[in-house]
Amino acid sequence: MPRTLRALTAALVTGLALLVAAPAHAAEPDAAPGPVVLVGVAGLRWDDIGSLTTPALWGLSRAGSVGDVTTRSVRSRACPADGWLAVSAGNRAADLPAEDGTCRTLRDPGESGQVPGWEDYRAAAAGESYRARLGLLGGELERSGTTATGIGPGAAIALADADGVPVGTHLRMPAQQRDLQRAVREAAATSQLVVVDAGVVRDPGWATAARPSTPTPTVAPGEEEDPGLGLGGTQELPGSESIVEPTRAQQAVTIDAHVDAVLDGLRGTDATVLVVSLADSGRVALQLAAATGPRASGDAYGASLLTSGSTRQQGLVQTVDVTPTLLSLLGLPDVPTIPGAQIVPTPGPATGGARVARVLDIQEEASAITRVHGAFSARMVLSQAALFLVAAVVLLLRGRTDRAPLRPALRALQVAALALGAAPVASFLAGTVPWWRADRPTTAFWAVVVGWIAVVTAVALAGPWRRYVLGPAGVVAGVTVGVILVDAVTGSNLLVDSPLGAHRILAARFYGMSNQAFALVLAAGVLVAVVVADALLRRGHRRAAVAAVAGIGLAIVVVNGSPSWGADFGGPPALLVAFAMLAVAVSGRRVSWRTVLIVCAVGGAVVLGFAYLDWLRPAADRTHVGRFLDTVIDGGLWDVVWRKLSVNLRVLTSWRYLVLAIGGVALVLLVLVGPRPRRGALMGEGSPLAGLQRAVPLLRPAVAATGVALTVGFLMNDSGIIVPAMGIAVAVPCLVAAAAQWRLDAGADDADATGPGSSPDGAAAEVSARPDAPAGSSPA
């Protein structure tokens, strides 16, 4: 193994050891002092709550802990059955889809005692790759001897055992409020866990329907429906019953009456109450969660926001967090194979009104991003496709670049390339301005994004670095890397609900680095390393240049792979490949396939090390990296691989990312190889860009390192072609900007120039920077 690679590996292992220490497993939790009560509803949001219309929920919002709930299940829209199944399994689970798109009307168990539709639920779970174990909660209650009472059809699903029969006592929902109050009072006196189905809120046209038999599904188990449904796009209502359906306000009043009866029935007890909306109302949006009462350890629920270890976001939890929360409050051991984490209070605004305003703001932002992210991606792709076509023409035009018309064309191309290269990071920076609160949020979003693009582009063109061929492009890359890394370290506030980040409603990721962010930081990070290394090589400091590349790579790998920050399982191997290849090239040695394979093996070991250290933590504190290792230990590796492969194949045909990938690769080849290359030449003979690689000798190894690393990232992650497409989205515009900068500074095509920075000792600088020069060579 080359000395440079050994040094990089040693530094990485040392950094990893210093970053994370293996903590001891937590002791078994203690139970809450009183009964634990779950009041489950469906379709209820914070904008449904008012002091006059829903006084019980309004009072709970002022005295208790509050938060939003993402109800994402197997499909993008969750039915009431899906939410209750998530409580039963502690995992994503769903009903079989109906032919007409309606949700099932839930019913209480009949004479057989089995939950109606249970065989459908089991068939649906068996066809999915989430390994949902229906009846997990009921089985844990039964094994531990925990007494439970369920009221209403949803409670029967939540408390069912593996055979679909509710454990403990099951009661039908009383018709009168006073009867519900009495039933809850009696249940709290005899049961440790009480689960109440308080009803549903359905949007007009989305009423639930009876389902006497198993329908023929129009969407196969495991197949995703159109993610645009319910997210702001055009939707067809599944029925015309909306004329006679109650309004949302009327349905919310009914639920509030049930919640009021439950709270009245618990007066005088030391109960811990969770009120959670477990499913959507038809339109997909964040739902309501509130909690009050004591916890066995830590602060009680009250006058705070809610969060969980699975989201790490103030004011946000998931439906899959309900089951581990109930187990913890009941003093039962954690189930490490389920993806959720305990719902806990976290400090928030001082007043109840401010806390509700905060969760309403989160809800509004989550809904607003679904209306703009598709248009942002499409416009960015189309703009970059146009840039690629124009660049292919303008960069290869012959003529003098110190006069019109070529000079203004190259200058315009450079500015446009820098602006498009800044567009991805501008989409993250848009989160610094609350555009979703504007009267016209879509217009405000575009104004903020364009404003940030202008700022980054102006900075890139304004400083002294503009005189260096990679200077402006390096600034854009540096801003991209800096913003993404700082955001990951400080809690991923910009990542969440950004166009290229993680969306709360989709519930794919809530913290760390998304696959898009990883691809951006990889491509931009390599360019930053090239800028630094090239500057050091020009001064004859080869060892410092190698150390700089290794240091930049180490910092990015640690932030990307650390469970506390980036929490990215597939990122470190690709990043190690990129920076190891570049470090070897900077050292003056040739990169071999043996080196690449060794680095891939080291990257795999690093990833497993991160996963193992995360797995050693208590189950409630693990990130998805540690949970993945636990899934592998539990025998679920193939299910995860198959689910990721399915996503990759589905995304592979997306026109947006294909345009970026194919167009970007074609332009890179054109810039590096030229239109008519002679055998063994890097540039076409007589090409206007023939001197670019002499000006930046590290350009070719940087492109090779980025290409190989993006391919590794493509294979390791579950976003398929999105990874190379996003890397191209920042790398290729920066390459175009550098090429335009070089031609502008080269002057006439027949001038013997090597680009900016040329000087009487330019040849010596070139020898020093040449990647294939002998190690330790210095300027002649």
Final residue of a domain: which of 342, 367, 392? 367
Write the CATH number for 111: 3.40.720.10
pLDDT value at 70 more than 90:
yes
> Is 218 in contact with 250 (CB distance < 8 Å)?
no
Predicted confidence band of residue 544 (pLDDT cuts 50, 70, 90): very high
312 & 384 share domain: no
Q: Tell whether 13 is covered by a domain.
A: no
Q: Tell whether 19 is covered by a domain.
A: no
Q: What is residue 311's predicted lDDT score, i.e. its pLDDT?
A: 92
Q: What is residue 748's predicted lDDT score, i.e. its pLDDT?
A: 47
Q: What is residue 564's predicted lDDT score, i.e. its pLDDT?
A: 82
Predicted confidence band of residue 638 (pLDDT cuts 50, 70, 90): low
Per the prediction, the chain carries an average pLDDT of: 83
What is the SS3 assignment for 738?
helix
Most confident of 133-137, 597-601, 712-716: 133-137
Q: Where are the beta strands (DSSP E) in 412-457?
A: none
pLDDT value at 234 more than 50:
no
221 & 281 share domain: yes
**Percentage above 90 pLDDT, the chain:** 56
Question: Among 22-36, 101-115, 541-555, whose mean pLDDT is lowest?
Answer: 22-36
Between 152 and 236, the higher pLDDT residue:
152
408 & 354 share domain: no
65 & 106 share domain: yes
Place of tokens 């928030």: 348
Q: What is residue 674's predicted lDDT score, i.e. its pLDDT?
A: 56
Q: What is residue 561's predicted lDDT score, i.e. its pLDDT?
A: 83
Q: Tell whether 66 is covered by a domain.
A: yes
pLDDT value at 194 more than 70:
yes
What is the SS3 assignment for 289?
strand
Q: Tell whether 23 is covered by a domain.
A: no
pLDDT in tens, 360-413: 999 999 999 999 999 998 899 889 888 988 998 888 888 777 788 889 999 999
Distance CA 775, CA 780 (A): 14
The Cα angle at residue 381 between residues 446 and 501, in degrees rounded to 5:
65
Q: Tell whether 24 is covered by a domain.
A: no
Q: What is residue 271's predicted lDDT score, i.e. its pLDDT?
A: 96
Predicted confidence band of residue 87 (pLDDT cuts 50, 70, 90): very high
What does the block give as tokens for 127? 């066809």
Q: What is residue 649's predicted lDDT score, i.e. its pLDDT?
A: 56
Predicted confidence band of residue 239 (pLDDT cuts 50, 70, 90): very low
Contacts of residue 236, defined as CB under 8 A and 6 or more positions apart, other chains included, come to none
CA distances from 308 to 63, 224, 247, 320, 337 (A): 20, 26, 32, 10, 16
Predicted confidence band of residue 640 (pLDDT cuts 50, 70, 90): low
Q: What is residue 624's predicted lDDT score, i.e. its pLDDT?
A: 58
Side chain identity at residue 113, one-letter code? G
Between 29 and 15, the higher pLDDT residue:
29
pLDDT value at 197 more than 60:
yes
Place of tokens 């582009």: 457
pLDDT in tens, 32-53: 899 999 999 999 999 999 999 9
Query: What is the arithmetic mean of pLDDT over 658-668?
Result: 71
Residues 117-152 as b/e (b if ≥16 CB within 10 A, e otherwise) read bbebbbebbeebbbbbbbbbbbbbbbeeebebbbbb
Query: What is the arithmetic mean of pLDDT over 248-259?
Result: 97
337 & 404 share domain: no
Q: What is residue 756's predicted lDDT score, i.e. its pLDDT?
A: 40
What does the block give as tokens for 369? 């991003």
Q: What is residue 298's predicted lDDT score, i.e. its pLDDT?
A: 82
pLDDT value at 755 more than 60:
no
Q: What is residue 400's predicted lDDT score, i.e. its pLDDT?
A: 79
Contacts of residue 132, defined as CB under 8 A and 6 or more positions apart, other chains included, come to 85, 89, 91, 92, 93, 125
Q: What is residue 685's predicted lDDT score, i.e. its pLDDT?
A: 47
State the burial class of residue 162 (Cβ atoms within 10 Å of its Cβ: 0-12, 13-18, 19+).
Answer: middle
Distance CA 164, CA 670 (A): 63
Domain that holds residue 106: 36-367
CA distances from 75 to 28, 562, 650, 719 (A): 34, 30, 15, 17
Residue 645 pairs in a beta bridge with none
pLDDT value at 24 more than 70:
no
Side chain identity at residue 51, one-letter code? S
Query: What is the arithmetic mean of pLDDT over 643-648?
Result: 58
What does the block give as tokens for 167? 């454990």
Place of tokens 């702001």: 232
Residue 291 pairs in a beta bridge with 65, 274
Q: What is residue 397's predicted lDDT score, i.e. its pLDDT?
A: 84
pLDDT value at 110 more than 80:
yes
What is the SS3 assignment for 757?
coil
Predicted confidence band of residue 30 (pLDDT cuts 50, 70, 90): confident
**Percentage above 70 pLDDT, the chain:** 77
Distance CA 488, CA 135 (A): 37
Task: Report the half-sphere exposure of 422 (CA within 13 A, side-chain side).
Answer: 29
Most confident of 446-455, 593-602, 678-687: 446-455
Predicted confidence band of residue 745 (pLDDT cuts 50, 70, 90): confident
Query: What is the arithmetic mean of pLDDT over 223-242?
Result: 39
State the burial class of residue 465 (Cβ atoms within 10 Å of its Cβ: 0-12, 13-18, 19+).
Answer: middle
Contacts of residue 268, defined as CB under 8 A and 6 or more positions apart, other chains included, come to none
What does the block give as tokens for 169? 């006592």
The distance between the two most distant Cα atoms of the chain, rounded to a whole number of Å, is 96
What does the block give as tokens for 330? 């009941």
184 & 210 share domain: yes
What does the block give as tokens for 82? 């899906």
Predicted confidence band of residue 433 (pLDDT cuts 50, 70, 90): very high
pLDDT in tens, 201-232: 999 999 999 987 444 444 433 334 333 333 33
pLDDT in tens, 260-282: 999 999 999 999 999 999 999 99
Q: What is residue 620's predicted lDDT score, i.e. its pLDDT?
A: 59
Backbone angles phi, psi at 277, to 5 degrees: -85, 115
pLDDT in tens, 724-735: 889 999 999 999
What does the block give as tokens for 311? 């989201």
pLDDT value at 193 more than 50:
yes
Reference 161, options 152, 148, 171; nearest CA is 148
Reference 669, options 386, 377, 395, 383; nearest CA is 395
Final residue of a domain: which of 367, 394, 409? 367
574 & 684 share domain: yes
State the burial class of residue 112 (Cβ atoms within 10 Å of its Cβ: 0-12, 13-18, 19+).
Answer: exposed
Q: What is residue 643's predicted lDDT score, i.e. its pLDDT?
A: 57
What is the SS3 assignment for 768?
helix
Between 202 and 2, the higher pLDDT residue:
202
What is the SS3 assignment for 137?
helix
347 & 441 share domain: no
347 & 402 share domain: no
Question: Among 247-261, 370-384, 598-612, whose mean pLDDT is lowest?
Answer: 598-612
Q: What is residue 187's predicted lDDT score, i.e. its pLDDT?
A: 97
Query: What sections of 587-654 are H helices per DSSP?
Result: 593-615, 624-633, 637-652
pLDDT value at 531 more than 90:
yes
Which helix (H) or strand (E) is 299 found in, with range?
A: none
> Is 23 in contact with 616 (CB distance < 8 Å)?
yes
Q: What is residue 337's predicted lDDT score, i.e. its pLDDT?
A: 80
297 & 442 share domain: no
Distance CA 641, CA 482 (A): 32
Final residue of a domain: which of 367, 389, 418? 367
pLDDT value at 720 more than 80:
no
Query: What is the arithmetic mean of pLDDT over 503-515?
Result: 88
Q: Tell whether 186 is covered by a domain.
A: yes
Q: What is residue 761's predicted lDDT score, i.e. its pLDDT?
A: 35
pLDDT value at 304 more than 80:
yes
Q: What is residue 229's predicted lDDT score, i.e. its pLDDT?
A: 33
What does the block give as tokens for 742? 């070089």
280 & 245 share domain: yes
pLDDT value at 705 more than 70:
yes
> Is 546 in contact with 561 (CB distance < 8 Å)?
no
Distance CA 716, CA 697 (A): 30
What angle do helix axes 637-652 and 624-633 make, rounded to 10 degrees? 120
State the burial class of residue 779 (Cβ atoms within 10 Å of its Cβ: 0-12, 13-18, 19+).
Answer: middle
Q: Tell whether 779 is covered by a domain.
A: no
pLDDT value at 621 more than 70:
no
Between 426 and 691, the higher pLDDT residue:
426
Most confident of 370-374, 453-457, 706-710: 453-457
Task: Report the half-sphere exposure of 130 (CA within 13 A, side-chain side).
Answer: 25
Question: Among 309-323, 446-460, 690-704, 714-728, whose mean pLDDT is lowest?
Answer: 714-728
Q: What is residue 29's predicted lDDT score, i.e. its pLDDT?
A: 63
Q: What is residue 222's predicted lDDT score, i.e. its pLDDT?
A: 38
pLDDT value at 699 more than 70:
yes
Q: How many helices (H) and strands (E) does the chain have?
A: 25, 10
pLDDT value at 57 more than 60:
yes
Predicted confidence band of residue 628 (pLDDT cuts 50, 70, 90): low
Q: Tell whether 243 is covered by a domain.
A: yes
- Look at the chain and report how many structural domains it folds into: 2
Entry field: residues in the chain: 780
CA distances from 724 to 349, 645, 717, 728 (A): 41, 16, 11, 6
Reference 539, options 270, 306, 765; nearest CA is 765
Query: What is the arithmetic mean of pLDDT over 514-538?
Result: 94
> Is 637 in contact with 631 (CB distance < 8 Å)?
yes
pLDDT value at 658 more than 50:
yes
Question: Among 230-234, 599-603, 644-648, 657-661, whose mean pLDDT is lowest?
Answer: 230-234
Q: What is residue 8's predicted lDDT score, i.e. its pLDDT?
A: 47
345 & 476 share domain: no
